[in-house]
Amino acid sequence: MKAVSLTRPHELQTVNRSAPQRREGEALLAVRVVGLCGSDVAAYLGTSPLVTYPRIPGHELCGEIVEIDANAQGLAVGDLVCVEPLLSCGECASCRKGRYNCCMTLQVIGVHVDGALCEQFAHRIDRLHKPCSPLTEEQLALCEPLTIGMQACDRGGVSEGHRVAIFGAGAIGLCALAIARTRTEHVLLIDKVPQRLQRAKAFGAEVTVNADETEVAAAVADWTRGDGADVVLEAIGSPATIEATLDVVAFGGRVAVVGWSKAPVTFNRPQLLLQKEVDLVGSRNSRDAFPRVLELVESGRVDLRPLVTHRFPLEEAKQGFDLMADRPEAVGKCLLEVG
């Protein structure tokens, strides 16, 4: 089978590999569509501390089941599914609490182990999710990033009437926006890239703030009549924006950090954390989110397809990686068509 291998930073090769042999408890998938995300680009650029080489990337995908045991959790050959890309141990303290998304020895496909940028892929049956009504291959591939947005909203406790401020209008920030808008009308997006802010507006942001043109804390204060945001989601991973969440969150508010900072984060005014009694939480991957995301997509309440700006066949994967690395502002979502 054909596969795209990241042999070292900046070097992608289309290689021939033996088709995987599924193990007990797994299904064999014919991969149809794979989405590229920031972690894929970090691996490509050599800036991810989690990736070793060579590595087949890809963790946002739709696949068609081509081989599976009979009566396997309602799944059958021919089913189109989306894939939860987590391999958890099931035994550590986190897993015993049901929080398998932060398993102490968690492996994510395409990051810690080979992923799905290939023609066939074997994965755990309990991590495959089938819609109740037909969805397109692209819709299913886009479910994984939506689960990241849902986890952020869950961790932030977003609910009806909340005013939610989101730092970052990249793909994950927009996924968080899409989920938040199913719970509240009041969502504000902060970014510096006009194209991203335009997409945020199209996806239902009540207010957008260009941080290069407007003082962010003042804009949020004006939007909330001086109260501050009930929930702040940080989807950039910059030390500066993580610290800035304390400036815009309300007293008694909640901050959920989704962005992965590669540099130390220092709170220069830690007294704000105490004075406001802020709940500061992390948000990692997702758990128990796929069924809920599928329900939202099937109902039409969330449709991420307008975010897709670029599509490439498997053989042109490098063009997609280069585009996202060199012109991130131009990309809403990039999909690779495999099958």
Q: Which pLDDT tens digit goes with each residue over 168-203?
A: 999 999 999 999 999 999 999 999 999 999 999 999
183 within a domain of the structure (yes/no): yes
Same domain, 230 and 326: no
Q: How many independent structural domains does the chain possess?
A: 2
296 within a domain of the structure (yes/no): no
Query: Is there a contact between 336 and 137 (Cβ–Cβ < 8 Å)?
Result: no
297 within a domain of the structure (yes/no): no
Q: What residues make up the domain containing 165?
A: 147-282
What's this model's pTM, rounded to 2 decimal places?
Answer: 0.96
Read off the pLDDT of residues 85-124 as tens digits, 9 standing for 90 and up. Answer: 999 999 999 999 999 999 999 999 999 999 999 999 999 9
Same domain, 106 and 119: yes
Handedness of CA 8, 11, 17, 21 (dihedral sign): positive
Amino acid at 58: G
Same domain, 136 and 222: no
Q: Pairing between strand 26-36 and 333-337? A: antiparallel
15 within a domain of the structure (yes/no): yes
Same domain, 12 and 138: yes
Amino acid at 165: A
Same domain, 197 and 165: yes
Same domain, 51 and 164: no
What value does the mean pLDDT take over residues 232-255? Answer: 97
Query: Is there a contact between 315 and 119 (Cβ–Cβ < 8 Å)?
Result: no
pLDDT of residue 70: 85
What stretches of the chain show up as alpha helix (H) in DSSP?
38-45, 93-96, 137-141, 143-156, 171-180, 194-202, 216-223, 239-248, 270-275, 290-299, 317-326
Residue 14: pLDDT band with limits 50, 70, 90:
very high
Examine the pLDDT at 29 and tell me if it is beyond 80. Answer: yes
237 within a domain of the structure (yes/no): yes
Same domain, 169 and 266: yes
Same domain, 26 and 104: yes
Query: Which of 24-33, 157-166, 196-205, 259-268 has the lowest average pLDDT?
Result: 259-268
CATH number at residue 151: 3.40.50.720
Question: Any bridge partners for residue 120, and if so which?
Answer: 30
Examine the pLDDT at 71 and tell me if it is beyond 90. Answer: no
Same domain, 160 and 181: yes
298 within a domain of the structure (yes/no): no
Same domain, 108 and 187: no
Same domain, 126 and 167: no
58 within a domain of the structure (yes/no): yes
291 within a domain of the structure (yes/no): no
Amino acid at 168: G
pLDDT of residue 180: 98
Read off the pLDDT of residues 38-50 as tens digits, 9 standing for 90 and up. Answer: 999 999 999 999 9
Distance CA 48, CA 162 (A): 34
CATH number at residue 320: 3.90.180.10
Same domain, 110 and 53: yes
